[in-house]
Structure 1
Amino acid sequence: MRAITIPQSGGPEVLTWAEVPEPEPAAGEVLVEIAATAVNRADLLQRQGFYDPPPGSSPYPGLECAGRIVALGPGVAGWAVGDEVCALLTGGGYAERVAVPAGQLLPRPAGLSATEAAALPEVVCTVWSNVFMVAHLRPGETVLVHGGASGIGTMAIQLAKAVGARVAVTAGSAAKLARCAELGADVLIDYREQDFVEAVREATGGAGADVILDIMGAKYLPRNVAALAVNGRLVIIGMQGGVKGELDLGVLLRKRAAVAATNLRGRPLEEKAAIVAAVREHVWPLLESGVVKPVVDRVLPIAEAAEAHRAVEESGHVGKVVLRVG
């Protein structure tokens, strides 16, 4: 089969569509023929040499895919050859086929194409596990989503609104903020011109955000804590702004607030399976009813993976950049 390989670390130009060995599904796994995959910032970090795949996983980039089951490994129940699925991966989505643990499979939502479904697993599992399973966002609370126009941001807006929360977002252009508003965002903050701490306080009558979903890390840490409400919860899922920051424990104590940092790719199989099961129970009905929708900025052929990476690096997109494989 063929896959996007990374012969050496570097810019998008190092991505190479090449012949590679066919994967074999192990016990508890299925083999998926991939129709589409999507680009995540973790793929960019892997290409640059900063984020190696977990031991034993596929060496090829791609943390999610949609396609069709073509083979079952020993011990798999509840799935059949021919099922249309999408999947959360530890790697290998930029390929013609991938072996997937059965616990990380989801049925393709009714009414969605493979390219739309490919944009879902990573962002939906990330948002649900962090905003709802870690931070326990509740109806009536305010959540601040940094990078509201990103794949994760566009999904977080929709899911938070679906449960009755108020959503504030940051983004870097009027056009991106307008798109966030279309998805349901209530408070729009241009981080180039506004202090998000003051903007959130003003929007909440001085209370602050009950939950903050942060992709920036160190750069935003002190201001995120300042923006939290009493009993607020800050969840850090990215390090685009660095890895080492200063945390004022006095402020955290006075607010009785919490800071959590999580990732998804390196979790044990049973934890990923639990997240996927929760997503299937709580989010899939919202997708199939049209309350929540995947946001796809553009679809490119897999041979143009380098161009897709450039688009994500330039942050000119809204939602997901999808690669068509089949």
Structure 2
Amino acid sequence: MKQIRIDAFGPPSQVVRCCEVAAPGAPAAWEVLVDIDACAVNLADLARIAGHYGELPKLPATPGLEAVGRIVECGASVSELAPGDQVILMANDNWCQRRRLPASLVFKVGAPLDPLQLAGLKVGACSALELVRRQAALAPGGWLVQTAPLSAVGRAVMQIARQDGLRTLNIVRRPEAIAEVLAAGGDVALEDGPELVRAARAAAGSAPLTVAFDAVGGDGVARLAALLDSGGTIVNYGMLSGRPIQLDCDDAIFRGIGVKGFWLTRRLARMTHAQRDALLAEAVELVRAGVLRSEVAATYPLDAIGKALREAAQPVRPGKVYLLPNGEPGAIGAGGSAR
């Protein structure tokens, strides 16, 4: 079968290779065998391949934080899953055609949905759910401020916020992105720069601005702090700028602006099995209801992995890049048709 491998960390499109490996054998008693239908390519995947991430795999390694597939075979002791079930894989290392893994590391979807809409839930949608509903927990009508609104997490934040009756003030780094954000469901979109604080305050009126989600870092964090009310919190979950966070001492000391990090990997590791499944179920039901929807930029087979990663690394894309290890998946259920 085909599998993506890396033998050294480095530029993602250069160090990955598609190779032929032996297919996994029959599952042990508590394992399942899964055919992989789709894998979302995330910036976190690129960072792990490059060797610049919070945790790195032992080399040689197979990348891939996300995947959705169908169960082919269950071990003798597995009773709650059956061949044909659509499942989201909670394990990493998923860029391959078939996987054998513990049954505890898959989540059964229930009535099948579009694989491409499910393949990005573990990272993007679950991050957005934790940010909006747990880190912010605002009352209906409240305002969320965020950077990188056209990222997978940013789009999901806008979709969940609108469902929950919240409003989003979205900060972009290029003027042409303003129309894209508004079309994607943002309430306000502003270009970052010297006039950001004044424009943000004008847009929100007298409404409090108490929380901001940041995926960029760098000097933009100081402007986020300046536009928040005293006692506000910046939740940093990304490092798109590649630069350290900057925060004015006045904002930290005299206005009580706080900065904290959010990393879904750590959050998931601290969850019980039931809590993790509840989070996935929450995301799946939002897909089923049509609240969450990912835009698809392109799909690639495993043997075009270099091209796929080059496209995924582009700073401006109309949506996510996906790998289809076993060819085009069928379009089933609600949540949009597969491409």
SS in 2 for 1:229: coil
1:120 paired to 2:121: yes
Match for residue 67 of structure 2?
Answer: 65
Amino acid in the other structure paired with 1:80? A
Match for residue 264 of structure 1?
Answer: 264
Match for residue 162 of structure 1?
Answer: 163
Match for residue 146 of structure 2?
Answer: 145
Task: Measure, in 1, the Cα distance between the counterparts of 2:110 and 2:59.
Answer: 26
Match for residue 84 of structure 1?
Answer: 86
Amino acid in the other structure paired with 2:201? R
> 1:106: how far off?
3.4
SS in 2 for 1:260: strand
Tell whether the 8 Å contact from 2:5 to 2:60 is kept in structure 1 after alignment.
no
> 1:35: how far off?
0.8
Tell whether the 8 Å contact from 1:124 to 1:279 is kept in structure 2 after alignment.
no
Task: Measure, in 1, the Cα distance between the counterparts of 2:254 and 2:137.
Answer: 20
Amino acid in the other structure paired with 1:43? D
What CA deviation, in whole Å up to 9, does each residue of 1:140-170 have, x standing for no partner?
A: 1111221111111111110111100001222
Identity %: 30
Change over 3 Å in CA distance of 1:227–1:312 after alignment to 2: farther
Task: Measure, in 1, the Cα distance between the counterparts of 2:217 and 2:21.
Answer: 36
SS in 1 for 2:35: strand
> 1:262: how far off?
1.9
Deviates more, 1:65-74 or 1:310-319: 65-74
Amino acid in the other structure paired with 1:86? I
Match for residue 198 of structure 2?
Answer: 198
> 1:85: how far off?
1.6
Indicate the RMSD between aligned Cα atoms, in angstroms: 3.1
SS in 1 for 2:303: helix
> 1:177: how far off?
3.1
SS in 2 for 1:209: coil
Tell whether the 8 Å contact from 2:126 to 2:283 is kept in structure 1 after alignment.
no
Task: Measure, in 2, the Cα distance between the counterparts of 1:83 and 1:225.
Answer: 47
Tell whether the 8 Å contact from 1:220 to 1:241 is kept in structure 2 after alignment.
no
Task: Measure, in 2, the Cα distance between the counterparts of 1:75 and 1:209.
Answer: 52
Change over 3 Å in CA distance of 1:292–1:325 after alignment to 2: same
Provide structure 1 residue ranges, at least 5 long, that are not aligned to the other structure. Answer: none
Q: Report the number of matched residues.
A: 324
Match for residue 229 of structure 1?
Answer: 229
SS in 2 for 1:80: coil
Which residues of 2 match residues 47-62 of structure 1 at below 5 A? Answer: 47-51=49-53, 53=55, 59-62=61-64
Deviates more, 1:142-151 or 1:176-185: 176-185
Task: Measure, in 2, the Cα distance between the counterparts of 1:17 and 1:65.
Answer: 17
Task: Measure, in 1, the Cα distance between the counterparts of 2:73 and 2:232.
Answer: 46
Tell whether the 8 Å contact from 2:217 to 2:246 is kept in structure 1 after alignment.
no
Change over 3 Å in CA distance of 1:256–1:82 after alignment to 2: same
Deviates more, 1:65-74 or 1:250-259: 250-259
Task: Measure, in 2, the Cα distance between the counterparts of 1:197 and 1:235.
Answer: 18
Which residues of 2 match residues 1-326 of structure 1 at below 5 A? Answer: 1-11=1-11, 12-20=13-21, 22=23, 30-51=32-53, 53=55, 59-72=61-74, 76-89=78-91, 91-99=92-100, 102=103, 104-108=105-109, 110=111, 112-173=113-174, 175-191=176-192, 195-205=195-205, 209-242=209-242, 244-248=244-248, 250-252=250-252, 254-267=254-267, 269-271=269-271, 273=273, 276-326=276-326
Amino acid in the other structure paired with 1:122? V
Q: Mark the structure with the bigger radius of gyration.
A: 2
Tell whether the 8 Å contact from 1:145 to 1:169 is kept in structure 2 after alignment.
yes
> 1:28: how far off?
5.9
> 1:70: how far off?
2.6
Amino acid in the other structure paired with 1:82? G
TM, length-normalised to structure 2:
0.82
What CA deviation, in whole Å up to 9, does each residue of 1:87-113 have, x standing for no partner?
A: 333x21211123555555334475632
Match for residue 329 of structure 2?
Answer: none
Change over 3 Å in CA distance of 1:69–1:172 after alignment to 2: same
What CA deviation, in whole Å up to 9, does each residue of 1:235-261 have, x standing for no partner?
A: 111122346434446524655554321
Change over 3 Å in CA distance of 1:189–1:325 after alignment to 2: same
